[in-house]
Structure 1
């Protein structure tokens, strides 16, 4: 019989960078008792993103940050929107280039992630934030 469950994850960031929050998501999925289904994660913010990425080598996360720093630099004079500082509009552009939602299948009661995959919130602002990720599980 098809069931649904939902929750919200609070993810604390320390400023710009990737925050792995795979463990609390996986724990919630296990606790839900679903064997198969589909998990949707949705980030309720416009200056951060969600992604599935390599979770073994921290150089990958650093390289991603360095690439985006080159692609969308803070303080670029092209941008007019600076209400919250020089990282304001670059954070919105970085979000437009990344995703705010993810869909992950469940198989055998577990997230069907690959061996080296983790679920990350990518903070695009320089200062720390508390971010909310809505989760919805559909399955049986």
Structure 2
């Protein structure tokens, strides 16, 4: 059994966003998977971001952000009150969009469905830099 890990530093900016990181995952696997089978864990070590496996480019990523805005409005209802107004909602986000995903790797490649991508979801405009940890276990 082998284990390889790497961290990525990504700039997400100062407004909510969905960042497709599938290519980063694939590049990591090209280096460490050697055509083998295993599991890729994608983890964001932040209390205000998550990892989703969704379709991108056809509007689903924007739809997810819109749904999160509706479910978690940036207003003064939140008990967690530091940062920008409504920032407490960002701390609830990982309860809906988990901060991790574990994905199958077959023959050294992500075994995703046709329209699936690995996406970093970040609603926290107060923190424009994010770390993502990729870990491959085979």
Same fold (TM over 0.5): yes
- The Cα of 1:116 is off from its aligned counterpart by 0.7
Aligned pairs for 1:1-140 within 5 A: 2-14=1-13, 15-32=15-32, 33-57=34-58, 59-75=59-75, 77-127=76-126, 129-139=128-138
Give the Cα separation in 2 of the matches to 1:34 and 1:133: 23
- C-alpha spacing 1:136/1:3, structure 2 compared with 1 (3 Å): same
Is residue 78–residue 86 contact of structure 2 (8 Å, CA) maintained in 1? no
Aligned CA RMSD, in angstroms, stands at 1.4
CA contact (8 A) 2:48 2:124 kept: yes
How many residues in Structure 1 have an aligned counterpart in Structure 2? 136
Deviation at 1:87, TM superposition (A): 3.2
5+ residue gaps, structure 1, are: none
Q: For the Cα contact (< 8 Å) 1:16–1:127, is it kept in 2?
A: no
* Counterpart-to-counterpart distance in 2, 1:67 and 1:82: 22
Q: CA deviation at 1:25?
A: 1.1
Counterparts of 1:93 and 1:125, CA distance in 2: 11
| 4+ residue runs over 6 A deviation | none
In structure 2, C-alpha distance between the alignment counterparts of 1:133 and 1:38, rounded to whole Å: 16
Query: What is the TM-score when the length of structure 2 is the normalising length?
Result: 0.91
Q: Aligned with 2:46: secondary structure? A: coil
